[in-house]
Amino acid sequence: MKFYSILPKAALGLALAGTLALGGCEKEDADVCGGTPTVSGVSSTTDRGTASGTGSLADWVIIHGTNLCNATKISFNDVDVSLADAYVTATEITVQVPRVVPKNVTNTLTVTTAGGTAQTSYKLDVPSLMALGMSNEYAAPGQLAAIVGNNFDLYEVTPEKGKILWDGTAVAITKTTADSVYFVVPANATPGAMLKVVDANGKETAVPGRYKDNRNVLFGYDTNGSVWGSDAFIATGPTPAPVNGPYVHIKQMIGEWVWTEFSTHNNIALPADVVKNPNNYVLRFEVNTLKPFNTNAVRLSIDGDAAATNTYTWAPATPFNTRGKWSTVTVPLSNFINKPTDLDKPLHECKFIFLGPGALDADISFDTFRIVPKD
């Protein structure tokens, strides 16, 4: 994720009615800049008349007060602002809050000038580091993979300052973006491994999911969770290359609202806790698209009627396209099971079908549908 100021520096200066000067006061302001500075409040650049005691990283704000000229230091918590980017007058300082996580949170804003220091309460909403899972839980040993989430760059989960723990053993990071941390799957990787990311301060964050998790497989297309009635869709490659043995490959036109079953089986056992506590579980599966999944829908049902009961409709809001790579999709089971009393029996029927609006030129593969614990 990238952050941009609302206006370029020059445009921002014009937007502030020409009252701001870069780097200090005009000469005629010298007589009002010799005293101790004060800070009376903070506002946004879009609503300068409304003071606020809270904000977010990367916000543009106006600091209001007196004797603010010749500021030598401006800090939010313990993070200093770059004065080169500050617009300063005797009564206002316009500046962007640094997109840096403070080490010491004091919920204060401090302005220091040649005449002294002024401080006011100001609380920043600092976003948490979020690890959402592996981009492909079935990536092969030696293959480049990624942990996806948010704010990895903010917390410096970088090749230089961060690391990944694979079942407790450090794995080198190859590249980091705001929403992804890339690494090479270890050569000795075994199913069930658990991962953590470690930020620049040494804090560990667990990554949901396990490597090649094979618990509670509904459809695996090889030895567990076979297809019943749809064997024509089973493929072994070469395009796409298998991610976990045989898989289902749908390569045809899917008509609008045409019922197209690609996986169905009626003798599947579910652990009792899955039925009792669906909030604690997720449905995961591997997907590979050679053409975008941009219309129609996939309906997934367990003992449901493929319309409402114990059914989930996967219809991406934007075109879903893995561009020939396998990717792990996660669906909270609470979005799926809405009538658990219907599942109070030893064996279940699972149906995965295409059924939705718009004709789809499908070239999409699925593998290893599984129900696993959320964390």
The predicted-structure confidence for 302-345, as pLDDT tens digits, reads as follows: 987 656 789 999 998 889 999 999 999 999 998 888 888 888 88
> Domains in the chain, start-ordered, CATH in brackets?
9-125 (2.60.40.10), 130-206 (2.60.40.10), 217-373 (2.60.120.430)
Question: What integer pLDDT is reported at residue 269 of this predicted model?
Answer: 87
The parts of the chain modelled with pLDDT lower than 50 are 1-31
Reading the block at residue 198, the tokens are 């470690």
Question: What integer pLDDT is reported at residue 227 of this predicted model?
Answer: 66
Alpha-carbon distance of 271 to 285, in angstroms, equals 18
Residue 360 host element (H or E): strand 360-373
The closest of 309, 300, 136 to 212, measured between CA atoms, is: 136
Question: What integer pLDDT is reported at residue 267 of this predicted model?
Answer: 83
> Model confidence over 138-163: pLDDT tens digits?
999 999 999 999 999 999 999 999 99
Alpha-carbon distance of 61 to 11, in angstroms, equals 15
Question: What integer pLDDT is reported at residue 77 of this predicted model?
Answer: 97
Question: What integer pLDDT is reported at residue 304 of this predicted model?
Answer: 76
Question: What integer pLDDT is reported at residue 341 of this predicted model?
Answer: 84
Contact 323, 191 (CB under 8 A): no
Alpha-carbon distance of 328 to 248, in angstroms, equals 15
